[in-house]
Structure 1
Amino acid sequence: MERDVDVKREKRKFYKKFFLLFGLICLLFIGTISYGVYWAFYDMERLPKGEFLTEETSSDGQYTLKAYLTNGGATVSYAIRGELVFNEQSNKTKNIYWNYREQYATINWIDNDTVVINGHKLNVPNEKFDWRNQ
């Protein structure tokens, strides 16, 4: 009788460990797939370089926003990529603007940390505009 209780207890421990390990493996697999999809389709640091259009520097000289025209080929429309340059941090760059079906870039700095790109207001360096997320 006591042996049956020990066997049942051992089975419960085994199944508990098995399902915990199985759940962790499933979460790891789903996380890896999710990150892969993000990296392949939504990561702004993987955008095409494009052809330089224009640039504007903030009034305090801390940031420069450069705009590039990207051509996706015969079946895809033009897009504008906005690259923020950190002038005081050895010209480190960050993509903050990506909009589809645009061919021109109008950049206006409102103040030292606020820029308007083609009508989209962004507080730099933290905000981004990506048409794919709208």
Structure 2
Amino acid sequence: MGKKVSEDTIIEECEHLIEVFKKFKGEAFDTTQPMNYAVSNIICSIVYGSRFEYDDPEFTSLVDRTNRNIQLVGSPSVQVYNLFPWIGKLIAKRKEFETLTAANKKQNLQLFSRLKETLNPQMCRGFVDAFLVRKQNLEVGKLIITY
């Protein structure tokens, strides 16, 4: 997971983003969503070891929920909640934030589970694999020590 791998990941994602831009044939368009998907894909490639297509519903829902959470965190009502947490029950956006966060957590756990099922300790696809291999090694170390 060195500098070269990260550079290659960024370059590869830029190529995908350029293809999306080419589809607009020089016409004006909103770059927000493709840019969010590109940045998110770079993060996913480093963390999970693979990228998603921009039209993958699993990916788009994860990115869209994350973007909505960022909007909510900056909202005045959440800022008030940060100052006065005891009024939290009165703030509707707090509930939306918690719902979106729970959905993202569930989706991430599913992704982790799939990576764990296909884990090959000899080939690190991303940070999650490195974490899982490290965890396995620590558990094996504990078993050896206890015997």
TM superposition score normalised by structure 2: 0.24
Question: Hey, which of these two has a bigger chunk of helix by percent?
Answer: 2
Q: Which has the higher contact order (CA 8 A, sep 6+)?
A: 2
Q: Which has the higher strand share?
A: 1
